[in-house]
Amino acid sequence: MSKRVLIVDDDEGHGEVVSEALQSLGLEAFIADSGEEGVRQLREGPQFSVVLTDLVMNDVDGFAVLRAALQRDPATRVLMLTGHGNREVAVEAMREGALYYLEKPVDLDELRTKVEKALDASEREREYLDLKRDMTRVLGIGGIVGRSQEIVRLTELINQVAPTQAALLILGESGTGKELVARAVHNQSSRAARPFVALNCGGLSEGTIESELFGHVKGAFTGAISDREGKFEYAHGGTLFLDEVAEMALHTQVKLLRVLEDRQVVAVGSNKPRSVDVRVFAATHQDLEKKIEAGAFREDLYYRLKVVTLRVPPLRERRQDIPLL
């Protein structure tokens, strides 16, 4: 990619001076004579390595240009120029993502030095992003290994659904990595710093699973010697993964549905509801629609869980991934 710089300044004369000063760096310079024009070029024009923008302009300010530049290309490096400098504005510019902040009148030697450093930083960031993209294609995300069409499509869907707050139903045969997919979605989401809590619903009695999910208070049943928070409360702010959800008893399904609707849990043996903020993922190797027909799974819970559905392909459907495993 050729090294391009975009100069955004409503002082046309100053923009020309900056452009001429950067000619010695072998850059292809573009000039926008307003913030609005700068944003338009960033959205519709070529890719820029560096953007120099005035802060105070008559229409759209330098912060809007800065945001547009980083939104278009995270590898672009932005330098903020202004004759209205103060420490607070400088700090805010850096916080928003500007690499440097220079006050007018700009020392041209300093400007060239800063632009050279910005070009180097942009190139390193672009190499990193390209490498990360290539590694994702080969190794997937979150430990999901493969470069078959099926795995590429799965990782694309993970990237699409991760930033949302939608419930997720993960389907696939036993051993295909459904929990791995759930963790990958969680780790790509805004909840990544909060807990990921997994519970296998298979083989648990109705009483046990309700205690595990919702917690219990002291004396709620024999052996309940103290209060204990459930998985929902432990996962507060994060993600709860319910594996083998098809094994859940109908009575527990009713309680789970109520939690999903009200975002409150009531511990076993208590009457006091407690608010929870949890994103719920469920997984199964069974056909839930057939379970619904047989009266073994609630249809309303099914549709509450399957806001988004991901299917994890078995290895026999992606044999080209075997050498990578």
Q: What is the CATH number of the domain that holds 64?
A: 3.40.50.2300
Helix (H) or strand (E) holding 170: strand 168-171
Domain total for the chain?
A: 2
- Whether 139 shows a pLDDT value over 50: the answer reads no
Q: Which of 109, 134, 159 is where one domain is finished?
A: 134
Burial 299-309 (b: 16+ CB within 10 A, else e): eebbebbbebe
Do 267 and 176 fall into the same domain?
yes
Pairing of strands 264-266, 273-275: antiparallel
Tell whether 199 and 311 lie within a shared domain. Answer: yes
Nearest of 225, 218, 232 to residue 273 by alpha carbon? 232
Among 117, 134, 151, give the residue marking a domain's end.
134
If asked whether residues 161 and 242 sit together in one domain, one would say: yes
- Asked if residue 13 has pLDDT above 60, the reply is yes
- Do 100 and 202 have their domain in common? no
Domain that holds residue 276: 140-324
Identify whether residues 101 and 202 lie together within a single domain: no
Q: Output the CA angle 23-28-33, nearest 5 degrees.
A: 90
Q: What is the pLDDT of residue 177?
A: 85
Whether the predicted pLDDT of 230 surpasses 50: yes
102, 159: one domain: no
71 — pLDDT class (breaks 50, 70, 90): confident
Say yes or no: 73 and 95 in one domain.
yes
Whether 61 and 196 share a structural domain = no
Q: Are residues 108 and 249 in the same domain?
A: no
Q: Are residues 148 and 123 in the same domain?
A: no
pTM (global) more than 0.85: no
Maximum C-alpha span of the chain: 83
User: Which of 211, 181, 124, 159 lies closest to 310, judged by CA?
Assistant: 181
Q: What angle do CA 222, 224, 226 make, to 5 degrees?
A: 155
pLDDT greater than 50 at residue 240: yes
Verify that 114 and 164 share a domain, yes or no: no
The residue among 134, 162, 191 that closes a domain is 134
What's the CATH code of the domain at 294?
3.40.50.300
